Amino acid sequence: MILKPLKRFLFLVKLFVHICDNLAMVLLLDGKKTAKKLLDDLKKQIESSSLKIKLATIFDQKNPGSSMYVNMKVKKAAQVGIESEEFKVDESWNTDKVVSLVRKLNDDPTVSGILVQSPLPETVDEKIVFDEISPLKDADGLTAKNQGLLFQDSKIAHALPATPSGVIKLLNEYDFVFSGKQALVIGRSVLFGRPMSLLLVNRDMTVTLAHSKTPKETLIKEAKNADLIIVAVGKAEWFDLQDLKNSAVVIDVGANRKDSKAVGDVNFDEVSKRVAAITPVPGGVGPMTIATLIEQTYNLALEQKRRKISMKKAVITVVGDDKPGIIAAVSTRLSENQINILDVSQTLMDNVFTMSMLVDITKVDDKFQELQNSLKELGKNMSVSIHTQRQEIFDTISKI
């Protein structure tokens, strides 16, 4: 008699466990929502900063994926108040031509950030192009300088590769604990796998970086022990290993198309049944990549403004009889001294040549007098008068 209620109770417990087992208990890591939160916050900051921010994008116009992703980035940037300028390249471009374009954008003070969308046409060596971007304008964090700072786990502020950084932000949003845990990253690209594994090592994880030459048995063994599995192999629904920790978190970095639908690198239906949390595609890593790129463009604009304020400037005036070679001689002397010309104006009145230049003397600030004398001497040799003054003097005069 006393056994009956107990049996019934045990049956209910078993039933409950069975139902829980079969319910989709997996937590979806919502990149769309997290990215929106980040961008809403950024929009407010940009509005109150009243900065004029511009992102320049370079991409292969014939690559359908690139056009689509760049369009998405441009649209999201516009929503938070960042302007874009697009530069389309095709296979008629070689590496040198793209490098010249990047250099022009580096020197353009209206451009805050540069994004080179991968892949560029086969006629262009992409890595050379990445490294030509000024680290101060590297919105996607892919230059050797910025990846080197990541390698060093440097305290110096630097842009991070946008996709792996977006993954970290998403995991943080869900309070994922990194330290001491086991990670498996599959894919060793410069854009993603390499920087991703470093970001995790820097957060005290033990990381396995697997790739196309990793034997299947190794992959199976590593996946079984991993607390965090990140898949970036570029093959639709490729990851379908069954033997996983039920506490594992799976991040799907894939951006593939199947029957014109967006699908990831993970077989979602199979894997999501066996783990604790997973990112969906669409709506996972993709939106986080875009939000991170945009946030970094804003950070670059802030840093550029800070440097502009602390920049030391001088005004150089050249007056004398017009003769060929004056401009060339002065600009050569300036570039030998690592001085950048910020602005120039020239006039010729009754054969009297006048030129004024605004220059950046930040690098030679402590040798200002030497510079003054050197230019004065140069003027004497050409029978023109060259006068150099710090710009602060003009600022003070206009205040009086």
Ligand X SMILES: Nc1nc(=O)c2c([nH]1)NC[C@@H]1CN(c3ccc(C(=O)N[C@@H](CCC(=O)O)C(=O)O)cc3)C=[N+]21
Q: Give binding residues as ranges.
A: 187-189, 255
Concatenated DSSP letters of 297-348: HHHHHHHHHHHHHH--EEEEEEEEE--TTHHHHHHHHHHHTT-EEEEEEEEE
Q: Is 34 in the site for ligand X (CB under 6 A)?
A: no
Q: How far is the CB of 81 from ligand X (least distance, A)?
A: 20
Choosing from 140, 227, 252, 360, which is the catalytic residue?
A: 140
**95 vs 206, which CB is nearer to ligand X?**
95
- For the question of residue 259 being annotated catalytic, the response is no
- For the question of residue 140 being annotated catalytic, the response is yes
Over the window 109 to 148, marking each residue x when it contacts ligand X by CB under 6 A and - when it does not, the resulting string is: -------xxx---------------------x--------
Choosing from 30, 54, 60, 73, which is the catalytic residue?
A: 73
Q: CA separation (Å) from 334 to 319, 330, 357, 392?
A: 17, 6, 11, 19
> Pick from 102, 105, 162, 386: which binds ligand X (CB under 6 A)?
162
**195 vs 379, which CB is nearer to ligand X?**
195
Q: How far is the CB of 35 from ligand X (least distance, A)?
A: 8
Concatenated DSSP letters of 49-106: HT---EEEEEEETT-HHHHHHHHHHHHHHHHTT-EEEEEEE-TT--HHHHHHHHHHHH
- For the question of residue 169 being annotated catalytic, the response is no
Q: Is 170 in the site for ligand X (CB under 6 A)?
A: no
Cβ–Cβ < 8 Å for 86, 77: no
- Closest residue by beta carbon to ligand X: 286
What contacts 336, CB < 8 A, 6 or more positions away? Answer: none
Give binding residues for NADP(+) as ranges: 187-189, 255
Other C-beta atoms closer than 10 Å to the C-beta of 254 total 24
> Pick from 282, 331, 341, 374: which binds ligand X (CB under 6 A)?
282
| Distance, CA of 37 to chain centre | 19
Other C-beta atoms closer than 10 Å to the C-beta of 52 total 13
- Three-class SS state of 358: strand
Cβ–Cβ < 8 Å for 109, 134: no
Name residues contacting ligand X, limited to 216-275 (CB under 6 A).
255, 262
**185 vs 375, which CB is nearer to ligand X?**
185
Q: How far is the CB of 69 from ligand X (least distance, A)?
A: 5
H/E element holding 20?
helix 3-22
> Pick from 239, 287, 298, 360: which binds ligand X (CB under 6 A)?
287
Q: Binding residues for ligand X, per CB under 6 A?
A: 69, 72, 116-118, 140, 162-163, 191, 255, 262, 281-283, 286-287, 289-290
Q: Among all residues, which ones are annotated catalytic? A: 73, 117, 140
